[in-house]
Amino acid sequence: MVERYPWQSALWERLTHRERHAHAYLFHGPAGIGKRALAERLVDRLLCRDVIAGDACGQCKACLLLRAGTHPDYFLVEPEEAEKPIRVDQIRGLVDFVAQTAQLGGRKVILLEPAEAMNLNASNALLKSLEEPSGDTVLLLLSHQPSRLLPTIKSRCVQQACPMPRQDESMTWLKQVMPDLSVQDLDDLLILAGGSPLTAVRLQALGVQAYRSQVVDGLKKLLKRQVAPSPLAEGWNSIPLLLLMDWFCDWSLLILRYQMTRDQAVTGMADMSKVIQYLGDKADSGQVISLQNWLLEQRQKVMGKANLNRVLLLEALLIRWASLPQQG
């Protein structure tokens, strides 16, 4: 059975009370809030032949085929390898599927995630199917970053923002999923996950707290000139690059906030709070803004799967970071 998250209840009610479904939906919102589960639950309902109380029955032929992964009227499109783009050949397969007649005599349903993983050729190949789907076909597109989608893709879909859970909803759910962790550990994980509870679970499995301790310790030594940028960059080889970029983007923003307010309450998590204050007092704000702009550019390249030299990128970042106190 597909996971059901309490913060999606109101949206689910609205979806299930629609008299007629759109031919294409774009479910969007931050990663880690349960968009895939919501979409799969809707797939179940749209294909079920005996819906009960707004949900798929789980027992009809369509439900059993779907559970077995052999439903002939369901088509899934996702990257063939993790962090790889969705290729135009995959979308051509989708287009062929749309043109077919439903084998069970009902709807055909397509789930595509993440939509922003489509390259330009793939996006263009999808447009006609979005504009003129044949038969009773429903396309469900999921996106963590809808700003990266072509306007023509978004305009052909009913855009549905998925709800971000409240802090108390996330903490209640996390306590059930990870009962052995302390409230403080769960709170820290949720902060590191940007408030997305499923991301918090993923980061815990990744060992994010150990990574974070390693990075924070290294930065403190860097500022004390106890370690040079090059060996430090090499020592972070096992840490996901996007995670590092996210942390540095966050820290540079916190420095700017502190410089504007001189309020210790805006310096973020306790592990870096004093470092943020120190750099806020010592660094020139123009230099911090320059660093922030550079970080955002590099992060975009990382997200775009650019062919970057990881060690050289991190070394350049650490050189910039270590030079901040010298600017004030």
pLDDT at 5 over 50: yes
d(CA 57, CA 47): 10
Nearest to 129 by CA among 105, 155, 94: 94
Nearest to 229 by CA among 134, 323, 115, 95: 323
pLDDT at 195 over 70: yes
The separation between CA 9 and the C-alpha centre of its own chain, rounded to angstroms, equals 21
226-271 pLDDT, tens per residue?
A: 999 999 999 999 999 999 999 999 999 999 999 999 999 999 999 9
Place 328 in a pLDDT band, splitting at 50, 70 and 90.
very low
Span 6-161: which CATH code?
Answer: 3.40.50.300
The CATH 3.40.50.300 domain(s) of the chain lie at 6-161
State the DSSP code for 272: H
Place 1 in a pLDDT band, splitting at 50, 70 and 90.
low
pTM for the whole structure? 0.84
Name the H helices within 100-240.
120-131, 151-155, 167-177, 183-192, 197-206, 208-223, 229-235
Q: Which residue has the higher pLDDT, 77 or 132?
A: 77
The residue behind tokens 């609205």 is: 14
pLDDT at 100 over 60: yes
CB atoms within 10 A of CB 24: 22
**With pLDDT > 90 as the criterion, what percentage of the chain qualifies?**
86
Is residue 70 exposed (0-12), middle (13-18) or buried (19+ Cβ within 10 Å)? exposed
Place 303 in a pLDDT band, splitting at 50, 70 and 90.
confident
